[in-house]
Chain A
Amino acid sequence: MKRSSAPAWTTVLVIVFFYIPTLTLIIQSFNSAKYGGGWQGFTLDWYRKLMHEREVWRAVQNSLWIAAYSTLGATTLGTLGAWMLNRYKSKLQSAHYTLMYAPLMVPEILMGISLLMFFVNLGIPLGLPTIILAHITFCVSYVCFTVMGRLQDFDDSLIHAAQDLGAQWPTIIWKILLPLLGPGILAGALLAFTLSIDDFVITFFTSGPGSTTLPVYIYSAIKKGSLATINALSVLMMLVTFTIVLVSNHFINHKKT
């Protein structure tokens, strides 16, 4: 085999550009210096302080509710969409496919602004419901394509075999489709959850008074200047997101082997 220094360089670059900033953030969250900068000793004060900030926990609660509802909505719609795109073949399907794919390409800021205009023009008051609708809108495509990957490996003759053995549709869905597609659907759901809980731009445009989510809160907190607690908060958030991504990856890769 040819030896190459390319992999080594790739590793170095990934560390420099991705993990070092993250690492800095983690270290800073334990730094007793109030505005960051030089190391002034280890402390858990910022985490302690964070626990007492009522606004943070309101934001966390908002974020979790939004993520839960938009995951539910996006997973249901995305799975049905994937099923329809995969099952029926017609000339219209390529148009449907593009329509499903487009939200993945549209810049978030455009989507945020257009959703804002849409809600304002319809006279819908901004708040948790509008954020949930907005999140469902951009998560559906992700779920759809995750589930579709699973569906493409799915052998349609299994449905025929089940019918042939006497099964009706509810049994087929329960005993054949869900067990086989479940991991794909779950992976899609976890992806939607992570995307929703992390989202800033679209949330920023579609949120109203009292519906501050965690990323929006962090943004405003930084502007106000209380950087140290934010570091601690970011680390906690990262931990949660990371866990979810790991779990979802596990489900995506699980049945492929």
Chain B
Amino acid sequence: MGDFFELQTITKTFGSYKAVNHSTITIKKGEVFSLLGPSGCGKTTLLRIAAGFEQPDEGRVILDGKDITALPPNDREINTVFQNYALFPHMTVWDNIAFGLKIAGRSRSYIKSEVERMLDMIDLEEHAYKKPAMISGGQKQRVAIARALVNKPQVLLLDEPLGALDLKLRQRMLLELDRIHDEVGISFLYVTHDQGEAMSLSDRIAVMNRGHIEQIGTPVEIYEAPKSSFVAAFIGDTNFLESGKVVKQFADGYCNLKLDGFPDVICYNDNNHAVGEPVVISVRPEKLRVSFDEPPDHQYHNKVRGKVEDIIYFGSETKYFVRVQDYRLSVFQQNIHFLLEERQIKWNDEVWISWHGNDSYMLQRYTPEDEHLLAVPDPQAK
């Protein structure tokens, strides 16, 4: 399936503030596409441009081959689920869902059958004649989704739809959203700052930062192969080894790196950084192995000595903070045989940390503007 809904080279400024800068996303038919980023990154502005509430300064909005940039929201085959639901408080659930169909001038019998179909889908038949104030947050959310979907839009826009719900309900609504998407099969453009929501729901994700798109990819690509240090830090947890310098490049793609305040490491050079170029290395905590015994030598394996400074036990896994020269590495270890282990790792133990050279990533150093977004809390700093 080809590109269906496109936001092409969108730029939008408010006064002197550039909310969105030259950003392009293309969404396939039936795809769940997420815009993910910290608050103020421009994701909501992009959504409002897609809905027609804002006009871009530059760029075009294309739906199914037609340029709809100039169309007002009421003429677009796009519907929105708003962050705070925006249900009409003076109308019943039934009338809220029927609103769009009534405006479209559909026949009474069509409206009745469609609204009932929607009520069945969101499983709220018995609340059809209640006002929004009488139903719970999760139910309101489902009404908002039904109210948008009943118009059979080509694209459904969702603006932080689960933001107002508590954690348990959020997880249930995520499954519900997934089910609804399977049922209607249209494209979803989902805006969120929550990486968990984006990762679990999306076919593809665009990670946004300060008005531009850092990376577009599947959840796996975004997590396993971040294109920038911002993406690496924003999605999940990671260890950054800064001030690296490529010293030797091998023919098989691996290279040796020299670091300040850390032993030399070997890393797969995905982005073909040249010898002498300064880079940052990102290693996810779960890719690191911690052990008492020295791991066997291997061509592409890194192993370093460190001292355990902190241990946080989560039940299913344990997080170790290990001091290696100037760095404090965080290491996630699944507690597969925690109780059976002959010798448990304790504070101040000397341990080995090891990882495969292909499990770390070499990235360009992030800019100072991003640094505060990425700050990893260091308990030692206090």
Contact = CB atoms under 8 A, between A and B. Distances in A.
B90 A163 contact: no
A163 B73 contact: yes
Given A162-B99, A166-B100, A167-B74, A157 B90 contact: no
Contacts of B73: 160, 163-164
B104 interface: yes
B237 to A, nearest CB: 35
Interface in A156-210: 157-158, 160-168, 171, 175-176, 179-180
Contacts of B12: none
A53 interface: no
Contact of A158 (B51, B86, B148): B86
B347 interface: no
B44 interface: no
Interface in A134-165: 155, 157-158, 160-165
B229 interface: no
A160 B82 contact: yes
B79 A164 contact: yes
Interface residues of B, number: 25
B79 A165 contact: yes
A165 B103 contact: yes
Contact of B74 (A157, A163, A175, A180): A163
A167 B103 contact: yes
B72 A166 contact: no
B239 interface: no
B88 interface: yes
A161 B86 contact: yes
Task: Decide if the interface of chain A is mainly helix, strand, loop or mixed.
Answer: helix
A160 B147 CA distance: 14
Contacts of B86: 155, 157-158, 160-161
Interface in B80-123: 80, 82-84, 86-90, 99-100, 103-104
A179 B80 contact: no
Interface string A22-42: 000000000000000000000
A70 B125 CA distance: 48
B88 A161 contact: yes
B53 A160 contact: yes
**Best-surrounded residue of A155, A161, A162, A175 (most CB of chain B within 10 A):** A161
A162 B82 CA distance: 11
B243 interface: no
A165 B53 contact: no
B151 interface: yes
B283 to A, nearest CB: 43
A161 B81 CA distance: 8
A180 B147 contact: no
A111 B300 CA distance: 90
B104 A166 contact: yes
B74 A168 contact: yes
Interface string B140-168: 00000001100100000000000000000
Interface of A: 155, 157-158, 160-168, 171, 175-176, 179-180
7 contacts: A157-B83, A160-B82, A163-B74, A164-B79, A165-B148, A167-B74, A175-B99
